[in-house]
């Protein structure tokens, strides 16, 4: 079992580094992304956010008009994807990327990050839980410990 990672020991501003962990995203038993060549961002009180290379995404994405801004990474672009088991179901704004990230995050230019749902996300075969709330996109695994930002009463952290 990997050592525990306490989210309160993660840095602020966040640390971006390559991770050799095996990431998979499955939707209705269809593999939609897989890689061992991702980055993770580690930020105080947050579980890791994973950024997958564009060539690891196995379904087409459509750019959304939604935008947001991260004080560390810059302007985010959001994407839509069709359910591989039901083409009439399109999920919007649950995948994002940085087309022109800030200098410290240039390594993740065009890499894609997925919220942990409606699909199932896996890290080294373990199904992840989503970070609490619906704003942040961290993935919680059994090696993550400590109170996590995102749920009710945590905005001031």
Render pLDDT for 13-50 as a digit per residue (tens, 0 to 9). 999 999 999 999 999 999 999 999 999 999 999 999 99
Phi, psi of 109 (to 5 degrees): -55, 125
CA distance 58 to 39: 18
Q: Tell me what pLDDT residue 155 has.
A: 78
Give the full edge-to-edge strand order of the sheet including 38-42.
Answer: 15-19, 38-42, 49-51
Query: Cis omega before residue 118 (within 30°)?
Result: yes
pLDDT, position 134? 84
What is the DSSP secondary structure assignment for residue 109, as one 8-state letter? B
Token pair recorded at residue 90:
């399109």
Q: Residue 156 has what pLDDT?
A: 80
Whole-angstrom Cα distance, residue 131 to residue 107? 23
What is the rounded CA–CA span in Å between residue 108 and residue 72?
12
Percent of the chain with pLDDT over 70: 99
Give the closest residue to 37 by CA, choosing from 23, 57, 48, 49.
23
Asked if pLDDT for residue 89 goes beyond 80, the answer is yes
Over residues 110-125, mean pLDDT = 98
Confidence class of residue 135 from pLDDT cuts 50, 70 and 90? Answer: confident
Torsion of CA 116, 33, 81, 18, to 10 degrees: 70
pLDDT of residue 61: 98
pLDDT for 7 beyond 90: yes
How big is the chain, counted in residues?
A: 157
């Amino acid at each position: 079992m990997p050592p525990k990672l306490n989210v309160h020991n993660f840095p602020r501003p966040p640390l971006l580094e390559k991770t050799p962990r095996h990431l998979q995203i499955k939707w209705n038993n269809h593999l939609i992304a897989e890689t061992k060549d991702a980055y993770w961002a580690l930020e105080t009180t947050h579980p890791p956010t994973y950024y997958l290379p564009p060539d690891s995404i196995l379904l087409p994405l459509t750019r959304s008009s939604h935008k947001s801004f991260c004080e560390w990474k810059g302007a985010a672009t959001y994407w839509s994807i069709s359910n591989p088991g039901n083409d009439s179901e399109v999920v919007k704004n649950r995948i994002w990327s940085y087309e022109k990230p800030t200098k410290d995050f240039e390594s993740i230019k065009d890499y894609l990050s997925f919220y942990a749902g409606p699909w199932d996300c896996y890290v080294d075969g373990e199904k992840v839980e989503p970070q609490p709330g619906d704003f942040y996109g961290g993935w919680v695994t059994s090696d993550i410990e400590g109170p996590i930002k995102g749920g009710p009463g945590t905005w001031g952290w």
